[in-house]
Structure 1
Amino acid sequence: MDDSILRRRVYGADHDDPDPGPRPDRDYGELVGGPLDGLLLDVTGWTGAQLTEEVRLPTEIGRYGPGGRTHYCRREADPARWDWSGDSP
Protein backbone atom coordinates (compact mmCIF):
# COMPACT_ATOMS: atom_id res chain seq x y z
CA MET A 1 0.00 0.00 0.00
CA ASP A 2 1.35 3.44 -0.83
CA ASP A 3 1.74 6.19 1.77
CA SER A 4 -1.24 8.23 0.54
CA ILE A 5 -3.57 5.29 1.24
CA LEU A 6 -2.00 4.50 4.61
CA ARG A 7 -2.83 7.98 5.94
CA ARG A 8 -6.54 7.68 5.03
CA ARG A 9 -9.43 6.85 7.34
CA VAL A 10 -11.59 3.77 6.82
CA TYR A 11 -15.39 4.19 6.71
CA GLY A 12 -16.88 2.86 9.94
CA ALA A 13 -13.78 3.46 12.07
CA ASP A 14 -14.56 5.17 15.38
CA HIS A 15 -13.70 8.87 15.45
CA ASP A 16 -11.60 8.32 18.58
CA ASP A 17 -9.81 5.24 17.20
CA PRO A 18 -6.06 5.86 17.56
CA ASP A 19 -5.45 4.01 14.26
CA PRO A 20 -8.47 4.52 11.94
CA GLY A 21 -6.44 3.82 8.82
CA PRO A 22 -6.28 0.85 6.49
CA ARG A 23 -4.58 -2.42 7.29
CA PRO A 24 -2.22 -4.11 4.82
CA ASP A 25 -4.17 -7.40 4.83
CA ARG A 26 -7.44 -5.77 3.63
CA ASP A 27 -8.81 -4.54 0.27
CA TYR A 28 -10.26 -1.04 -0.03
CA GLY A 29 -12.08 1.21 -2.45
CA GLU A 30 -11.91 5.00 -2.23
CA LEU A 31 -15.23 6.82 -1.83
CA VAL A 32 -15.38 9.77 -4.24
CA GLY A 33 -17.78 12.69 -3.83
CA GLY A 34 -20.71 13.07 -1.47
CA PRO A 35 -20.55 13.18 2.32
CA LEU A 36 -17.99 10.37 2.67
CA ASP A 37 -15.55 11.71 0.07
CA GLY A 38 -12.01 10.48 0.67
CA LEU A 39 -12.86 7.68 3.09
CA LEU A 40 -11.87 4.11 2.29
CA LEU A 41 -14.48 1.34 2.06
CA ASP A 42 -13.30 -2.09 3.23
CA VAL A 43 -14.34 -4.54 0.47
CA THR A 44 -12.29 -7.49 1.69
CA GLY A 45 -14.03 -10.76 0.82
CA TRP A 46 -16.77 -9.18 -1.30
CA THR A 47 -17.93 -11.30 -4.23
CA GLY A 48 -17.82 -10.09 -7.83
CA ALA A 49 -21.58 -9.53 -7.70
CA GLN A 50 -21.35 -7.49 -4.50
CA LEU A 51 -18.66 -5.31 -6.06
CA THR A 52 -20.97 -4.38 -8.94
CA GLU A 53 -23.93 -3.39 -6.76
CA GLU A 54 -24.60 0.06 -5.37
CA VAL A 55 -23.77 0.28 -1.67
CA ARG A 56 -25.97 2.26 0.73
CA LEU A 57 -23.90 3.34 3.69
CA PRO A 58 -25.43 4.70 6.90
CA THR A 59 -24.23 8.20 7.72
CA GLU A 60 -25.34 11.14 9.84
CA ILE A 61 -23.64 13.69 7.62
CA GLY A 62 -25.64 13.11 4.43
CA ARG A 63 -28.65 15.03 3.14
CA TYR A 64 -31.07 13.22 5.48
CA GLY A 65 -29.03 13.42 8.70
CA PRO A 66 -29.23 10.68 11.35
CA GLY A 67 -30.79 7.52 9.92
CA GLY A 68 -29.92 8.50 6.35
CA ARG A 69 -27.84 6.60 3.86
CA THR A 70 -25.45 7.71 1.16
CA HIS A 71 -25.06 5.67 -2.04
CA TYR A 72 -21.90 4.77 -3.94
CA CYS A 73 -21.26 2.74 -7.12
CA ARG A 74 -17.96 1.21 -8.14
CA ARG A 75 -16.39 3.09 -11.05
CA GLU A 76 -16.21 0.76 -14.05
CA ALA A 77 -13.10 2.38 -15.57
CA ASP A 78 -11.31 2.60 -12.20
CA PRO A 79 -12.54 -0.16 -9.84
CA ALA A 80 -10.50 1.21 -6.92
CA ARG A 81 -12.90 4.19 -6.77
CA TRP A 82 -16.56 4.31 -5.79
CA ASP A 83 -18.58 7.31 -7.02
CA TRP A 84 -21.32 8.98 -5.01
CA SER A 85 -24.78 8.63 -6.59
CA GLY A 86 -27.01 10.31 -3.98
CA ASP A 87 -28.56 10.03 -0.54
CA SER A 88 -31.74 8.48 0.82
CA PRO A 89 -33.68 8.60 4.09
Structure 2
Amino acid sequence: MTQAPRVYGTEPDAPATGPQPGRTYRELVGGPLDGQLIEVTGWTDDEITAGAHLIAPRNAYRPGGRTSYGPTFSRPDGPWVWEGDVP
Protein backbone atom coordinates (compact mmCIF):
# COMPACT_ATOMS: atom_id res chain seq x y z
CA MET A 1 0.00 0.00 0.00
CA THR A 2 1.33 3.44 -0.94
CA GLN A 3 1.42 6.00 1.85
CA ALA A 4 -0.13 9.42 1.14
CA PRO A 5 2.27 12.36 1.10
CA ARG A 6 2.70 14.09 4.43
CA VAL A 7 1.22 17.55 4.81
CA TYR A 8 3.70 20.19 6.00
CA GLY A 9 3.12 21.13 9.64
CA THR A 10 1.84 17.74 10.76
CA GLU A 11 3.75 15.33 12.94
CA PRO A 12 5.30 12.45 10.99
CA ASP A 13 3.62 9.84 13.20
CA ALA A 14 0.20 11.57 13.42
CA PRO A 15 -2.76 9.76 11.86
CA ALA A 16 -4.47 11.12 8.74
CA THR A 17 -1.58 13.35 7.67
CA GLY A 18 -2.42 13.06 3.98
CA PRO A 19 -4.38 15.54 1.90
CA GLN A 20 -8.00 16.16 2.89
CA PRO A 21 -10.92 16.54 0.47
CA GLY A 22 -11.95 20.09 -0.36
CA ARG A 23 -8.52 21.56 0.36
CA THR A 24 -5.86 22.88 -2.04
CA TYR A 25 -2.23 21.79 -1.81
CA ARG A 26 1.07 22.31 -3.57
CA GLU A 27 3.76 19.63 -3.58
CA LEU A 28 7.19 20.70 -2.29
CA VAL A 29 9.98 19.54 -4.60
CA GLY A 30 13.66 19.38 -3.64
CA GLY A 31 15.38 20.52 -0.46
CA PRO A 32 14.67 19.38 3.08
CA LEU A 33 10.87 19.18 2.68
CA ASP A 34 10.88 17.27 -0.62
CA GLY A 35 7.72 15.25 -1.17
CA GLN A 36 5.60 17.01 1.45
CA LEU A 37 2.48 19.00 0.63
CA ILE A 38 1.69 22.51 1.80
CA GLU A 39 -1.94 23.49 2.18
CA VAL A 40 -2.77 26.75 0.39
CA THR A 41 -6.53 26.70 0.90
CA GLY A 42 -7.70 30.28 1.38
CA TRP A 43 -4.40 31.85 0.26
CA THR A 44 -4.67 34.77 -2.15
CA ASP A 45 -3.14 34.53 -5.64
CA ASP A 46 -0.43 36.96 -4.50
CA GLU A 47 0.43 34.80 -1.49
CA ILE A 48 0.63 31.68 -3.63
CA THR A 49 2.75 33.48 -6.23
CA ALA A 50 5.15 34.67 -3.50
CA GLY A 51 5.72 31.17 -2.10
CA ALA A 52 6.78 30.73 1.51
CA HIS A 53 9.69 30.46 3.92
CA LEU A 54 8.98 27.29 5.87
CA ILE A 55 10.55 25.94 9.05
CA ALA A 56 12.65 22.90 8.22
CA PRO A 57 14.06 20.21 10.52
CA ARG A 58 17.40 20.48 8.68
CA ASN A 59 18.90 23.26 6.64
CA ALA A 60 22.15 25.13 6.06
CA TYR A 61 21.72 27.45 9.05
CA ARG A 62 20.46 25.30 11.93
CA PRO A 63 17.75 22.79 12.82
CA GLY A 64 14.46 24.66 12.76
CA GLY A 65 15.77 27.29 10.34
CA ARG A 66 13.80 28.36 7.31
CA THR A 67 13.86 27.16 3.75
CA SER A 68 12.27 28.88 0.76
CA TYR A 69 9.81 27.27 -1.69
CA GLY A 70 7.86 28.88 -4.51
CA PRO A 71 6.10 28.24 -7.79
CA THR A 72 7.85 28.29 -11.12
CA PHE A 73 6.74 30.82 -13.73
CA SER A 74 6.18 28.03 -16.25
CA ARG A 75 3.83 26.14 -13.91
CA PRO A 76 2.27 28.60 -11.42
CA ASP A 77 -0.37 26.02 -10.41
CA GLY A 78 2.16 23.21 -10.19
CA PRO A 79 4.55 22.08 -7.49
CA TRP A 80 6.65 24.53 -5.51
CA VAL A 81 10.39 24.14 -5.96
CA TRP A 82 13.09 24.61 -3.36
CA GLU A 83 14.82 27.97 -3.74
CA GLY A 84 17.36 27.53 -0.95
CA ASP A 85 17.76 28.00 2.78
CA VAL A 86 17.36 31.40 4.40
CA PRO A 87 18.76 32.64 7.71
- TM-score interval, normalised by the smaller of the two chains: 0.7 to 0.9
What's the offset of the Cα at 1:67?
Answer: 3.5
Aligned to 1:13: 10
| Structure 2 portions without partners, runs of 5+ | none
* Alignment partners' CA distance in 2, 1:63 and 1:24: 35
1:27-77 per-residue CA deviation (whole Å, 9 max, x = no partner) reads 000001111011001000000110110310011212222231000111222
Q: Secondary structure at the match of 2:32?
A: coil
Question: Is 1:72 the counterpart of 2:69 in the alignment?
Answer: yes
Query: Greater strand percent: which structure?
Result: 2
Q: TM-score, normalised by structure 1?
A: 0.85
Q: TM-score, normalised by structure 2?
A: 0.87
Q: Secondary structure at the match of 2:31?
A: coil
Aligned to 2:84: 86
Runs of 4+ aligned structure 1 residues displaced above 6 Å come to: none
Candidates 33, 37, 59, aligned match of 1:36: 33
| Structure 1 portions without partners, runs of 5+ | none
